[in-house]
């Protein structure tokens, strides 16, 4: 029979086959056996889920819905939770994948269990806890051809009858896979140091106290982004064209990201009921230098710093299980503060102001393919100061009525009262100084929608979200369920606009953006087959979104945030496992995704696209797909476990993941289309009583896979893309000290 998979996404420990939602769960052992080392790699095995490592901030999409672009004012559409602590900012996720016990991908709005900002779904990560018996583990990897290393040491056990501890330390060095011609180095070079201490105290049979302390530092040299199509300036610069394994930047790009986290979990049993308290702190600091134009021209060098602090407190009361009515009641509070500063050193050249509507030759007497377009015109430093403070209080409850042996109904409600204060200050200085910019230079920047300004705002929103589920346990081996859920993603304030104009596209009009609302219907089937040797789960869903949050490139230097109208995403998710023999396991998943903009008439136009939207310079996206929405995604894995003798065993895992053709950029630029592709991985391991060594290969056919694209700032017609790693191979080892 198949091993039972337990999940905690409903705030109770339950079998995945009994949970009425679409969920993919992988234990720490299964992650290790599949060679999955981060959430990006895990997304290949969960249908309709995609996490993109851009080298800056991860972008996360579930069922076609994501954060819509990199903007410091955005919250994540897919909530990430580590040991019940919400990680709502992308940089908070840097430490999450250390010493993992289990990861659960929960699709669809998860607002009742997890609150706002899980409008598309949630990632529920559980850290490994102290083991009853002493154990020490040493695991490592050597990855070629980029000579990367990873080493993790873990010590765990109970020091007394009631007190246990687990310490995990991780060191990783990545030497990069893209060569920077000007910097003469492989990029991005990443050094990661992380440590986590998990303490548990069980002073009585009905009280457990868990304390998690974690710290990580990530240093990165270089970045991913490269120019793949010429603009006016890069045409004259004549650099290599197309997505490949080279880039060419004049800036010495780097980033230093420090993360700290504390989680205090207290569980107190009162008879058959229990009270759970979760207190958490999470914060990070990021200092970064970017080459904004991603070329060897000094058009846009960016220095930035971002600080974030978050405190949260949750109380949950859980009723006994096995009763006619089971319920969970809770209160939640969260306070956070984010501050972002940026200085962009901007050099405007003759070609920067070329009219994109004119033919490629003869703009103002300048041949666009000549060195004349590189003639400097004006220079200035753009200074941006942005900050947001947030307070949120919510009350929630969920009750399940077991009507009969076969029928159950669940009703959940969550009320949220959220307030935010935000500001944006943009100034222009003479290059390298704090002197006010010359008015003539300011007039040139005004042509690119860059103007000095100061904005402040406050907003207060009340939200009521609901969940209704009806379950039918047709038999011991078949569950049929229907759910209706709503979700909400917080609105906020736009960090990336460069003006305070009150026109429809102006940065003043669009400084504040509204909550994003989701209304979801799901019909699912969970079945056990072949006397428990196989399982098959199917979920049909349809989600409608209103006030969809999108970030639109303004064609020059900035982005502005809008609520993009209405959209619908619908489809089906299938996953299953089949234990063919005691030694051979087949598992797989399939996702079909149909995304359609129902009403979005003022979307961004890509270069060369004739504007046809409801406002000047915009395009009508109604009836079209969104970025990062492949119609089909699937995975298939075959694992064999064999025995050589009483002391030796071996295993082999072959897996493949497929994604169909999709857009990598929000303006649907055809230059940002990722072709359909299949990535294949193989891992073969030999194990003794206390050790294991494994050879592995990832992306064996060396598929060229892009991740995210955008227009090139200050380079009319230029286009940028990032890419995934090419083929890698190497050696894993693991040793257990007892």
Report which of 729, 727, 656, 647 is spatially closest to residue 691, judged by C-alpha positions.
647
**Whole-number pLDDT of residue 209:** 97
- If DSSP states are collapsed to H, E and C, what string results for 77-106? CEEEEECCEECCCHHHHHHCCCCEEEEEEE
The rounded distance, in Å, linking the Cα atoms of 280 and 264 is: 6
**Whole-number pLDDT of residue 370:** 59
Cross-sheet strand order for the sheet of 85-86: 23-27, 100-107, 121-127, 78-82, 85-86
**Whole-number pLDDT of residue 115:** 86
**Whole-number pLDDT of residue 375:** 77
| Measured CA angle at 52 (ends 484, 384), to 5 deg | 100
The rounded distance, in Å, linking the Cα atoms of 216 and 96 is: 10
**Whole-number pLDDT of residue 454:** 96
**Whole-number pLDDT of residue 353:** 62
Which single residue is written with the structure tokens 């710093």?
305
Contact 110, 117 (CB under 8 A): no
602 φ, ψ to 5°? -130, 50
| Measured CA angle at 568 (ends 567, 574), to 5 deg | 145
| Measured CA angle at 615 (ends 613, 620), to 5 deg | 15
Sign of CA dihedral 91, 93, 96, 97: negative
DSSP one-letter string for 498-521: -----STT-TTTTSEEPPEEEEEE
The rounded distance, in Å, linking the Cα atoms of 243 and 723 is: 8
User: Buried b / exposed e across 156-177, counting CB within 10 Å, b at 16+?
Assistant: bebeeeeebbbbbbbebbbbbb
The rounded distance, in Å, linking the Cα atoms of 470 and 467 is: 10
**Whole-number pLDDT of residue 49:** 86
Q: How far is CA 230 from the centre of its chain?
A: 29
Cross-sheet strand order for the sheet of 246-247: 185-187, 178-180, 246-247
Contact 660, 630 (CB under 8 A): yes
**Whole-number pLDDT of residue 240:** 57
DSSP one-letter string for 657-678: EEE--EESSTT--GGGEEPPEE
**Whole-number pLDDT of residue 368:** 47
Global confidence as pTM: 0.90
**Whole-number pLDDT of residue 116:** 83
**Whole-number pLDDT of residue 67:** 66
Contact 69, 549 (CB under 8 A): no
Which pairing describes strands 121-127 and 78-82: parallel, antiparallel, or unpaired? parallel
Which pairing describes strands 649-659 and 85-86: parallel, antiparallel, or unpaired? unpaired
Which option is the CATH number for 6-737: 3.30.930.10, 2.40.10.340, 2.40.170.20, 3.40.50.300?
A: 2.40.170.20
**Whole-number pLDDT of residue 601:** 87
Q: What are the structural domain ranges in the chain?
A: 6-737
Q: pLDDT of 601-650, one tens digit each?
A: 888 888 888 888 887 778 899 999 988 999 999 999 999 999 999 999 99
**From the CB of residue 687, how many other CB atoms can be counted at a distance below 10 Å?**
17
Which residues of the chain fall short of a pLDDT of 70? Answer: 54-57, 67-70, 96, 236-241, 353-371, 553-556
SS3 698: strand
């Amino acid at each position: 029979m198949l091993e039972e998979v337990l999940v905690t996404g409903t705030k109770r420990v339950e079998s995945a086959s009994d949970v009425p939602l679409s969920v993919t769960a992988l234990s720490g052992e299964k992650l290790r056996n599949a060679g999955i080392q981060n959430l990006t790699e895990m997304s290949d095995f969960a249908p309709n889920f995609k996490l993109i490592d851009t080298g800056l901030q991860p972008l996360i999409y579930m069922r076609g819905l994501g954060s819509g672009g990199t903007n410091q004012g955005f919250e994540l559409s897919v909530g990430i939770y580590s040991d019940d602590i919400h990680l709502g900012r992308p940089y908070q996720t840097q430490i999450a994948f250390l010493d993992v016990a289990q990861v659960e991908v929960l699709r669809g709005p998860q607002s009742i269990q997890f609150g706002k900002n899980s409008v598309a779904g949630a990632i529920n990560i559980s850290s490994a806890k102290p083991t009853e018996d002493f154990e020490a583990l040493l695991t490592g990897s050597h990855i070629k051809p980029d000579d990367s290393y990873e080493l993790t040491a873990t010590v765990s056990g109970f020091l007394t009858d009631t007190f246990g501890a687990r310490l995990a330390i991780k060191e990783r060095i990545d030497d990069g896979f893209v060569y920077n011609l000007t910097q003469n180095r492989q990029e991005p070079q990443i050094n990661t140091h992380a440590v986590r201490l998990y303490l548990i105290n069980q002073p009585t049979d009905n009280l457990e106290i868990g304390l998690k302390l974690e710290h990580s530092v990530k240093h990165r040299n270089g970045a991913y982004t490269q120019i793949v199509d010429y603009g006016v300036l890069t045409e004259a610069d004549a650099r290599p064209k197309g997505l490949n394994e080279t880039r060419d930047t004049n800036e010495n790009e780097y980033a230093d990201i420090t993360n700290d986290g504390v989680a205090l979990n207290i569980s107190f049993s009162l008879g058959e009921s229990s009270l759970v308290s979760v207190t958490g702190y999470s914060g990070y600091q990021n200092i970064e230098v970017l080459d904004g134009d991603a070329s060897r021209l000094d058009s846009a060098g960016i220095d930035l710093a971002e600080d974030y602090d978050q405190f949260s407190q949750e109380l949950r009361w859980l009723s006994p299980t096995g009763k006619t009515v089971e319920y969970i009641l809770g209160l939640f509070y969260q306070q956070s503060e984010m501050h972002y500063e940026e200085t962009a050193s901007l050099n405007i050249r003759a070609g920067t102001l070329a009219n994109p509507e004119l033919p490629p030759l003869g703009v103002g007497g300048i041949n666009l393919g000549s060195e004349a377009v590189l003639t400097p015109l004006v220079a200035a430093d753009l200074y941006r100061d942005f900050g947001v403070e947030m307070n949120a209080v919510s009350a929630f409850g969920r009750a399940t009525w077991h009507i009969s042996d076969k029928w159950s109904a669940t009703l959940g409600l969550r009320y949220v009262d959220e307030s935010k204060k935000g500001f944006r200050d943009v100034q222009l200085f003479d290059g390298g100084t704090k002197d006010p910019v010359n008015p003539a230079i300011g007039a040139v920047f005004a042509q690119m929608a860059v103007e000095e300004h100061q904005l402040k705002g406050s907003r207060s929103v009340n939200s009521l979200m609901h969940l209704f589920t009806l379950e039918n346990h047709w038999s011991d081996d078949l569950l049929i369920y229907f759910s209706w859920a709503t979700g909400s993603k917080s609105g906020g304030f736009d960090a990336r606009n460069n003006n305070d104009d009150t026109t429809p596209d102006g940065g003043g009009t669009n400084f504040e953006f509204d909550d994003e609302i989701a209304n979801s219907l799901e019909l699912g089937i969970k079945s056990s087959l072949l006397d428990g040797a196989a399982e098959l789960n199917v979920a049909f869903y349809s989600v409608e979104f209103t006030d969809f949050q999108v970030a639109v490139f303004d064609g020059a230097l900035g982005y502005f945030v809008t609520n993009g109208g209405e959209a619908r995403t619908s489809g089906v998710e299938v996953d299953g496992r089949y234990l063919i023999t005691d030694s051979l396991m087949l598992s797989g998943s399939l996702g079909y995704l149909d995304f359609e903009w129902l009403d979005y008439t003022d979307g961004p136009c890509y270069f060369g696209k004739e504007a046809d939207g409801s406002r000047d310079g915009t395009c009508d996206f109604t009836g079209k797909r969104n970025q990062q929405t492949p119609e089909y995604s699937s995975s298939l894995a075959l694992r064999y476990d064999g025995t050589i003798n009483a002391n030796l065993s071996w295993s082999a895992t072959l897996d493949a993941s497929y994604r169909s053709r999709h857009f990598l950029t929000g303006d649907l630029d055809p230059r940002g289309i990722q072709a359909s592709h299949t990535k294949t991985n193989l891992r073969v391991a030999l194990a003794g009583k206390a050790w294991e060594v494994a050879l592995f290969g990832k992306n064996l056919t060396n598929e060229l896979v892009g991740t995210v694209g955008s227009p090139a700032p200050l380079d009319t017609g230029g286009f940028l893309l990032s890419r995934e790693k090419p083929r890698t191979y190497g050696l894993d080892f693991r040793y257990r000290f007892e």
